Chains A and B, each alone.
Chain A
Amino acid sequence: MPTVPYKNEIPKKYNPQNTSTAVLKSTFAIRLKEFKRLWKAISQSDMASPEQHYIIQGVRGAGKTTLLTRLYIEVEESDSLSPWLIPIQLKEEEYGISSLFSFWLRIAEDLEEHPLYKTNFKDLTETIEDIEPEEGEDAKAAFNLLNNALNEHQQKIIIFIDNIAELFDHFSDMDLAILREILSQKANIRIIGGSAISLENFYDHKQPFYQFFNVITLGKLTQKEALDLLLALAEVAGEDAVKQITLAIEEQPEKIESIRRLTGGVPRTMALLFDILAEGPHGTTFGYLDDTLDMASPIYKHRMDDLSKQQKPIVHAIAKHWDAISVKEIAQKTRINSKTISAQLTQLQKQWIIEKVPTDNKNHLYRIQERFFNIWYLMRYGRRRDKNKLLWLTRFIEMWCTKEDLTERVMQFSSGLSKDAYLPGTLAYTSALLGCKTLSINEKEQIYQHAHTFFEQQNEPNFLNSLPEIEGKEYALHAIDCMDNEKFEEAIKYAEKAISKNIFEAYYIIAYLYHYELIDIKLAEKNYLKATKNNIDIAYFQLASLYKIDLKNFTKAEQTYLEAIEHDDDKAHSYMGLADLYEVNFKNYSRAVQMYIKATEHGDHSAYLHLGHLYRDKFEDFSKAEQAYLKAIKYGYHRAYLYLGYLYLYNDYNFAKAEHAYLQAIERNIYDAYSAIASMHFSLELVDKKSQALNYAKQGVSHNEGFDSLYILVCTALWNNELDIAASSMEKIFSLDSWSKILEENTKETFLLLILFLAKKQTHLVDKWFKEFDLIEQFKPLHYALMFLMKEEYPNEYLRMGSELEETVAEVLAEIEKLAITYQ
């Protein structure tokens, strides 16, 4: 309940309902829109008939309780409302209320203690307590007594309930149904609730109950609201703070934005960070940060406690990762299966813990929505021995400081290093800065240099030794970054710096860059060789590729592959490269077979697929091919089922076995097998399987809308007289990218499709396509066959046909007729 202010009070961060009325009113700077909307709804109603009830939902700290309390005050202070409308506030933890009956009892107690109106409700509690317990009936009776008392004095109540979802969760279904009846029929009571759980969680079972609440969501603060909040907080804190904040807003508007990002727009967290902001942009330490994080503990701890057993490890994995992370990665880290994780992530989004970062494919990424929460998590749960134990500080600096801030900090760095500096703090700060991703490597070099000199001057060898050096690895990573950004010169410069710190992998980076980016094969070769000399064994493989593909020096390639096999731990890929060399370049298939076998021995079982193809195509040894495919399957290369299917179908003519293999492939998500099996049914004219064939073909297309799958879909759809499907699939074929090239490669197939349509009497469609896609020249005999079939509409066209075509056209017509019978 709001109270009288005492000296120097600041707004309560956790229990706003305990903030004094005056302070709460003066600092109420945000959620004004929601306040106005609700206040309008409350103040303009005389509650003559049942009124709209509301639920305000939002993450913990979003300002729900403050808003509820603010409304409570407004009702209490309103001259026009307070004589007849009594506000009641149920606090966040109303542990005593476990049923609708006890809810009414609790309200009655409040009324009986009301400073002004207690006489109106004298003995109400006692009368209610006397009601005999009986499911449902006692709650109804209790309400009747309460309602009668209100009627008698012509008063009404408005109840502000924090955590309404949790409260109602204790109620039985019967209680909820009764409450719903009361709320929608009785005019004496109005409820404004708050909920930290997204109500969508409740819809499954209790939804009809929540349906007639109007839900208002308190989202992230807008930029303007963020400014308003900070200014209001500054005014309470005093003149200096106002000055500092105004300055920050004027000079560094992007700073406010970064705070908003950091806090996820949650007002309570922003209020916590206010002190650091008030310190100004020129502070050299983050002394307050520890304290601030500590202050945030109650809210964040609570947030963690709210999570289910299954959600905790997921949130842990995401928080530790800091950057957005995929479901697959979470699964690896938590050993929870992806399906469960996905389901939980959906929940966690609804609870405003996690936010989704959409990608252009289905594998979206997820991160902790409120970054400050993530920082808190890193600090609290980061392992002590962790090399990155200051990670949380680094992350904070990254988020907190704008680029200009950082530049300034770097510039001021050396001047901040004075005799009075607190050495462990300086070391921590330096270390954190050196870890910052947002600092350029140049700036880090500068900082390192200054700190190094400083500790030397202080004659502090311990600190000097603890100062983390910029690692050669970091130079190498920067080199790779530069390469990705096509700054090749700089890439080489930093790779050389890395080499100077004995990171010889950087030779490989340089070589790779010459090989694939600058296309200077000579320099590439030279650097690969340097790399190999320094035992960077992965270089052999690239070098061998360079000989094979770029220099076409197959002998040298062979020799280098052999060296790669000797030195590189990943022998399998060298064997694969070598096998390919023998197969494609030397056409020495027996050697190729040997090398593929070697590759399998070293763990690259995809080589079995190559072996299968080689046996099948070059040796025509189907039994060995089958063995190889079966081996591939054994090692999880399930595509081999598809090849097995082909093998059985085309070489053994064993349809049952082929079908079995295709089905196996389908079971293992080799989707091309859908089309393969449909195609088999179609070409074998298995009438009793025609609808099945269509289904397979559809499945095939649903996974891959390429020509092959669409082709068989059109065939089977026509076979099933599903003309809509056939026509739309045909249109899809026509609209495929590079359709003309496809046509060139698949003339025969396209021809078959067109005559199949004609076999189904679809002359108009074919005619339309001929015109639309200019097919007449390509399929001249077919064109005349079509004209013959449409001779009533085009009486003269057919006659234009030259005599040399007559026979062919007759054959086409005969074929159409045959198809019409075969696939009727």
Chain B
Amino acid sequence: MSGQVVFGEKYFKREKEQQKVWRYLDRGAHIILLAPRRSGKTSMLRHLEQNPKEDYIFLYTMVQSCTTEQAFYKQIFDQLYDTDFIKNLERANKKGKEWLGSVLKSIENINIAGSGIKLADKTRHITHQDLAMVIRKLQLEKKLVIVVDEYPDVIESIYENDGISAVKNFMKNTRTLCQDTSLNQMVQFIFTGSIGLDSLANRLEVSNLINDQHKLSLSTLNETDGLAFIHFLTKKNDSSLKITHDVALYMLKKVQWLMPYYIEILWERLEDHCFDIENTTPENSDVDTAYNTLFNQAYRSNFNHWVERLNRLKKSEKALAKEFLNLLSTSKQISYNDYFNISQQEKYQDTQHGYVIDCLEHDGYIFETEPKTYRFTSPILKDWWNRYADRAL
């Protein structure tokens, strides 16, 4: 289904993208994975975690709830001592829970209890140095890849709570981990999240602190993969739908921006529709009906990530983005000059217009068709914007 991260059989393999990640990892790079919301990045990362190449072992951690640097490292430690990672560890190393426990306990201030890791002295926090020490002591025969999901959220929280110098400290410490050459023989990081880390870093003027990490972006499916994906959906859901080649092509044409999520929500509506009319062999017109159903009140929540992302912008940034997208929604594409024109209004005097258009691009609202000319990524988004954006925002 289209909401939750998918695993195992339900995961549609993105071979090229996966290869890309492995290539970078093989080169010893730390990765910033840039991908818009709902592009399937977490599913892909979890797939890599569960099906690693021979020489790797993954630690996946989601850090959204962390609002301080201390909480961030505590979270990584928690995940280290978590059953999921222990399973990975046992599979790969024959070293198990006890070994891990003994390593962790050797760090000053750390106790192990039934409910997990406990700090003996609550004022003494876990730091990046502690993490480095644990990694060294673990002496894994394989390379540890720490996946940090929703990483930009932590940066944003730290910025909001403790200001820019706290952010700089935090990011410097992460960089120290990334730049420690002997440590890098043992660990590599993948940073990702739904907010563009690079645009956030630009805004906070800390881009220099992520310069040595390789940026990698997740692209859309091509037509062949798109068709395969539709087939995959039918199989995965054990559905009786019979979608002909032509109709499948037509579906892709409707979606245009071939991110699996959008194909999937259209497929779901099509299946519902076919169920209703009791005909399992849809035609193009049924695809049209299903497409329109996407915008029914009942299914509009499919698009709330679009609202949510804009709502995270500052007020004036959001207004600018809205004005730009409104303009864009009335035409096929528009030039940067038009955008610049809007952004020069007095009300946007203090708005970082570069950041706004970066966000829109990163978050998958718009893409550049030719230099300095933009259009909506997907007709679905454009239609949604035209019909509901004003109400939703």
Question: Which residues from chain A sit less than 8 Å from chain B, CB to CB?
Answer: 33, 40-41, 44, 48-53, 127, 131, 136, 140-142, 144-145, 147-148, 151, 174, 177-178, 180-181, 184-185, 198-200, 203-204, 207-208, 210-215, 217, 219, 346, 350
Question: CA A44 – CA B65 in complex, angstroms?
Answer: 32
In the complex, which residues of chain B have a beta carbon less than 8 angstroms from the beta carbon of A40? 238
Given contacts A33-B275, A174-B65, contact A211 B391 (CB under 8 A): no
In the complex, which residues of chain A have a beta carbon less than 8 angstroms from the beta carbon of B238? 40, 44
Whether the pair A213, B297 counts as a contact (CB closer than 8 A) is: no
Q: Is B138 an interface residue (CB 8 A)?
A: no
Q: Is B83 an interface residue (CB 8 A)?
A: yes
Given contacts A131-B115, A141-B116, A180-B64, contact A204 B311 (CB under 8 A): yes
In the complex, which residues of chain B have a beta carbon less than 8 angstroms from the beta carbon of A49? 7-8, 46, 50
Given contacts A141-B115, A148-B114, contact A214 B2 (CB under 8 A): yes
Whether the pair B301, A200 counts as a contact (CB closer than 8 A) is: yes
Whether the pair B65, A136 counts as a contact (CB closer than 8 A) is: yes
Whether the pair B3, A50 counts as a contact (CB closer than 8 A) is: no
Q: How large is the interface on B (under 10, 10 to 19, 20 to 34, 35 or more residues)?
A: 35 or more
Whether the pair A212, B8 counts as a contact (CB closer than 8 A) is: no
Question: CA A397 – CA B238 in complex, angstroms?
Answer: 48
In the complex, which residues of chain B have a beta carbon less than 8 angstroms from the beta carbon of A198? 297
Q: Which of A141, A208, A346 is the most central at the interface, judged by chain B CB atoms within 10 Å of its CB?
A: A208
Whether the pair B3, A53 counts as a contact (CB closer than 8 A) is: yes
In the complex, which residues of chain A have a beta carbon less than 8 angstroms from the beta carbon of B5? 50, 184, 212
Partner-contacting stretch, out of B302-310, B356-364, B372-380: B302-310
Question: Which residues from chain B sit less than 8 Å from chain A, CB to CB?
Answer: 1-5, 7-8, 42, 46, 50, 60, 62, 64-65, 67, 71, 78, 83-84, 113-116, 238, 272, 275, 297-301, 304-305, 307-308, 311, 391-392
Whether the pair A217, B3 counts as a contact (CB closer than 8 A) is: no
In the complex, which residues of chain B have a beta carbon less than 8 angstroms from the beta carbon of A214? 1-4
Chain B, residue nearest A45 (CB): B10
A selection of 22 A-B contacts at a CB cut-off of 8 Å is A41-B1, A49-B7, A51-B4, A53-B4, A136-B65, A141-B113, A141-B116, A144-B114, A174-B65, A174-B67, A180-B64, A185-B84, A203-B301, A204-B311, A207-B305, A207-B311, A210-B304, A211-B305, A211-B308, A212-B4, A213-B3, A215-B301
Whether the pair A52, B4 counts as a contact (CB closer than 8 A) is: yes
Given contacts A141-B115, A148-B114, A346-B391, contact A207 B304 (CB under 8 A): yes
Chain B, residue nearest A350 (CB): B297
Chain B, residue nearest A205 (CB): B311
Whether the pair A184, B275 counts as a contact (CB closer than 8 A) is: no
Chain A, residue nearest B393 (CB): A204
Closest A-B pairs by Cβ, 3 of them? A49-B7, A177-B65, A217-B298
In the complex, which residues of chain A have a beta carbon less than 8 angstroms from the beta carbon of B8? 48-49
Whether the pair B115, A177 counts as a contact (CB closer than 8 A) is: no
Question: CA A764 – CA B392 in complex, angstroms?
Answer: 44
Whether the pair B83, A147 counts as a contact (CB closer than 8 A) is: yes
In the complex, which residues of chain A have a beta carbon less than 8 angstroms from the beta carbon of B114? 127, 144-145, 148
Whether the pair B62, A185 counts as a contact (CB closer than 8 A) is: yes
Question: CA A208 – CA B312 in complex, angstroms?
Answer: 11
Whether the pair B308, A207 counts as a contact (CB closer than 8 A) is: yes
Question: CA A346 – CA B3 in complex, angstroms?
Answer: 26
Q: How far is the CB of B268 from chain A (nearest CB, A)?
A: 9
Chain A, residue nearest B308 (CB): A207
In the complex, which residues of chain A have a beta carbon less than 8 angstroms from the beta carbon of B67? 174
Contact of A144 among B1, B4, B7, B116 (CB under 8 A): B116
Chain A, residue nearest B338 (CB): A724
Whether the pair B3, A140 counts as a contact (CB closer than 8 A) is: no
Chain B, residue nearest A48 (CB): B8
Question: CA A148 – CA B83 in complex, angstroms?
Answer: 9
In the complex, which residues of chain A have a beta carbon less than 8 angstroms from the beta carbon of B46? 49
Given contacts A48-B7, A52-B3, A199-B301, contact A185 B60 (CB under 8 A): yes
In the complex, which residues of chain B have a beta carbon less than 8 angstroms from the beta carbon of A141? 113, 115-116
In the complex, which residues of chain B have a beta carbon less than 8 angstroms from the beta carbon of A184? 4-5, 42, 62
Whether the pair A178, B308 counts as a contact (CB closer than 8 A) is: no
Whether the pair A203, B64 counts as a contact (CB closer than 8 A) is: no
Contact of A145 among B84, B115, B300 (CB under 8 A): B115
In the complex, which residues of chain A have a beta carbon less than 8 angstroms from the beta carbon of B311? 204, 207
Whether the pair B62, A181 counts as a contact (CB closer than 8 A) is: yes
Q: Which of B4, B83, B305, B391 is the most central at the interface, judged by chain A CB atoms within 10 Å of its CB?
A: B4
Chain B, residue nearest A55 (CB): B301
In the complex, which residues of chain B have a beta carbon less than 8 angstroms from the beta carbon of A181? 62, 64-65
Question: CA A144 – CA B46 in complex, angstroms?
Answer: 21
Question: CA A198 – CA B71 in complex, angstroms?
Answer: 34
Given A49-B50, A203-B307, 11 extra CB contacts under 8 A: A48-B7, A53-B4, A142-B115, A147-B83, A174-B65, A184-B4, A184-B42, A200-B301, A203-B304, A211-B305, A350-B297
Question: CA A645 – CA B31 in complex, angstroms?
Answer: 65
Whether the pair B115, A203 counts as a contact (CB closer than 8 A) is: no
In the complex, which residues of chain B have a beta carbon less than 8 angstroms from the beta carbon of A48? 7-8
Contact of B65 among A145, A178, A200 (CB under 8 A): A178
Chain A, residue nearest B119 (CB): A137
Chain B, residue nearest A173 (CB): B65
Given contacts A140-B78, A140-B116, A180-B64, contact A211 B298 (CB under 8 A): no
Contact of A151 among B65, B78, B83, B305 (CB under 8 A): B83
In the complex, which residues of chain B have a beta carbon less than 8 angstroms from the beta carbon of A50? 4-5, 7
Question: CA A319 – CA B275 in complex, angstroms?
Answer: 37
In the complex, which residues of chain B have a beta carbon less than 8 angstroms from the beta carbon of A53? 3-4
Chain B, residue nearest A216 (CB): B298
Q: Which of A51, A131, A184, A219 is the most central at the interface, judged by chain B CB atoms within 10 Å of its CB?
A: A184
In the complex, which residues of chain A have a beta carbon less than 8 angstroms from the beta carbon of B307? 203, 207
Q: How far is the CB of B337 from chain A (nearest CB, A)?
A: 10
In the complex, which residues of chain A have a beta carbon less than 8 angstroms from the beta carbon of B78? 140
In the complex, which residues of chain B have a beta carbon less than 8 angstroms from the beta carbon of A210? 301, 304
Q: How far is the CB of A306 from chain B (nearest CB, A)?
A: 19
Whether the pair A200, B4 counts as a contact (CB closer than 8 A) is: no
Whether the pair B7, A52 counts as a contact (CB closer than 8 A) is: no
